[in-house]
């Protein structure tokens, strides 16, 4: 259901040039009429507002029932920072965060993890942009388990593309959830974006392209 909060977030992504429409190739090699690039957030005002959306979703979903936030390099780094700030500023939840660097550092403090230290049994929530094929999650989980025997039960993302994964009848997110015992929580889904475009009487060609793409690659919430 397209709520006012979801409508506001979609408009925010569009105004920030993060949600774009046209012809793009996803990481999985699919031709898509829309693309989300959180690397296009470029100002303090944008990042402050983005943090609010993530923090609200975390608060509404798990409140303070976690021990640390993790943001995968590279795009997850600013996301986890702004979410952490907003959680403290708006909800009084002062939670530590950490992230990884792509290349391990062999001098100074060394290693590939920056931020808080986690311990066996800690509950870690992931903060990421989107999941298309689930590749990034599969890269991150062994990295986290190498830090400690942490519990990773929740992941928060900007957009659920609802795209089919490697198994017929399941989305990439459903595969990731089953493989790792995760619950993935999006701020909006592709269905919300499509509903917004219809509501705004968008260019019929774009709507048709969205619908064709969703019919070919997506598994939607109203599936039987």
When the pLDDT of each residue in the chain is averaged and rounded to a whole number, the result is 92
User: pLDDT digit string (tens) for 182-219?
Assistant: 999 999 999 999 999 999 998 999 999 999 999 999 99
Rounded Cα distance, 74 and 99, in Å: 9
Find the mean pLDDT for residues 58-68. 98
What are the structural domains of the chain?
4-217 (3.40.50.2020)
The pLDDT score that the predictor gives to residue 76 is 94
Average pLDDT over residues 34-59: 97
Contact 12, 48 (CB under 8 A): no
Indicate the burial class of 192 (C-beta count within 10 angstroms; 0-12, 13-18, 19 or more).
buried
In this prediction, residue 39 carries a pLDDT of 93
Pairing of the two strands 97-105 and 111-115 = antiparallel
pLDDT tens digits for 141-181?
999 999 999 999 999 999 999 999 888 889 999 999 999 99
- Among candidate residues 5, 23, 27, 105, the one labeled active-site is 105
Q: Give the pLDDT confidence of 103-141 residue by residue, as tens digits.
A: 765 544 556 899 999 999 999 999 999 987 788 889 999
* Residue 105 among the catalytic residues: yes
Q: Is 107 a catalytic residue?
A: yes
The mean pLDDT of 39-48, rounded to a whole number, is 97
Question: CA geometry: angle at 181 spanning 173 and 103, to 5°?
Answer: 75
């Amino acid at each position: 259901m397209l709520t006012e909060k979801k409508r506001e977030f979609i408009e925010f992504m569009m105004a920030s040039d993060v949600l774009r429409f046209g012809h793009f190739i996803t990481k999985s090699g699919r031709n898509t009429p829309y693309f989300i690039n959180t690397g296009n957030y470029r100002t303090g005002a944008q990042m402050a507002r983005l943090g609010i959306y993530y923090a609200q979703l975390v608060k509404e979903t798990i409140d303070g029932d976690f021990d640390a936030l993790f943001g995968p390099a590279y795009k997850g780094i600013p996301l986890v920072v702004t979410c952490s700030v907003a959680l403290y500023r708006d909800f009084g939840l002062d939670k530590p965060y950490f992230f990884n660097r792509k290349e391990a550092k062999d001098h100074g403090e060394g290693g590939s993890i920056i931020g808080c230290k986690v311990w066996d049994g800690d509950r870690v929530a992931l903060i990421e942009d989107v999941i298309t094929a689930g590749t990034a999650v599969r890269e991150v989980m062994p990295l986290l388990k190498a830090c400690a025997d942490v519990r990773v039960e929740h992941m928060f993302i900007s957009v659920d593309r609802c795209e089919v994964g490697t198994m017929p009848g399941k989305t990439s997110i459903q595969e990731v959830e089953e493989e790792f015992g995760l619950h993935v929580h999006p701020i909006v889904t592709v269905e919300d974006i499509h509903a917004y475009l219809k509501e705004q009487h968008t260019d019929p060609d774009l709507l048709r392209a969205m619908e064709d793409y969703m019919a070919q690659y997506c598994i939607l919430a109203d599936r039987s």
